[in-house]
Structure 1
């Protein structure tokens, strides 16, 4: 077998794309540029299912960080879509504070994941810092400061761009055989 035949794909490229594009589209909704329909569809398939699959592929690669992140945030998107369905059809509806508590739980998870992200690269650390800031803004928006949803929308667009940058870096590095988009040094040793 040639070296090319032995090489396996990197599941992170799908997970990062699913996270980045779905996050970006939700922010387009949060700032008023699109309706919730496209977000709902992506939350189920790309942000949810594709990230979930990427996470289980990261498990096979022995990458606990990628495994945890992609499965957890994939589950976030599928649960978010389920909340939208339940609200639409008045089955176990969630009010703003209910969604706020849902977001708080993922804010805590993001705090936990930020520390190892800082040991990976600048791009990963910055993406998680931006995600944490975005979650905090959305938490506050759901507990009495709704105008922060738009602020979070613009801020989380940068988080989405961070994920897409890392995805592009991994793909370009493989295709060009060298680093084209550097990820930067880890923040923690």
Structure 2
């Protein structure tokens, strides 16, 4: 009996990460309000990405398990912080959000090292993400103008994640590598 083919949960994780990141940056550069960020961040960036991470666990992919589950939780926590500030429940100051982001910057730095052992495209994505977090850290600790710079930089990060998602989807659909991701950096 033939084994049933399973989908790769990374496509959902990368899709959710990319879309939630992109939409938040549309807000950060001033193109739109916070409403859509809340809903995309909670559902696709948060819950769907977290579910993808939990499915990565079942496939034995510790990197995907950690990254997708972790960043799914990031999105849920971020959205709840936005809602808490809006409804004046456990409010977070700009500095509080800055320290929250510093923690995620450190988390990202660990995954950045791992990404360099997987593929060029993933290393680029995590390099861009790390730069974006550092810019947001600085924005929350006295350089608010960097939020817009981070916004544009993180749009490139989101597009990079979508490139990897498209690589996986197209390889399955076309039966060959249509969008190469390149060799690991080391």
Instruction: Give the TM-score, by structure 2 length.
Output: 0.99
Instruction: Report whether the alignment pairs 1:32 with 2:30.
Output: yes
SS in 2 for 1:6: coil
Looking at structure 2, the residues matched to 108 and 165 of structure 1 have their Cα atoms a distance apart, in angstroms, of 24
- Structure-1 residue corresponding to 2:64: 66
Q: Cα RMSD (Å) of the superposition?
A: 0.7
- Structure-1 residue corresponding to 2:80: 82
Looking at structure 2, the residues matched to 159 and 122 of structure 1 have their Cα atoms a distance apart, in angstroms, of 14
Select 2:135's aligned residue among 134, 137, 148: 137
**How many Å apart are 1:6 and its aligned residue?**
1.8
SS in 2 for 1:67: helix
Select 1:170's aligned residue among 168, 171, 176: 168
Where does structure 2 lack aligned partners over 5 or more consecutive residues? Answer: none
Instruction: Give the TM-score, by structure 1 length.
Output: 0.97
Figure out how many residues of one structure are paired with residues of the other and give that number.
186
**How many Å apart are 1:112 and its aligned residue?**
0.5
> Following superposition, which runs of at least 4 residues in structure 1 exceed 6 angstroms of deviation?
none
SS in 2 for 1:90: coil
Where does structure 1 lack aligned partners over 5 or more consecutive residues? Answer: none
SS in 2 for 1:34: coil
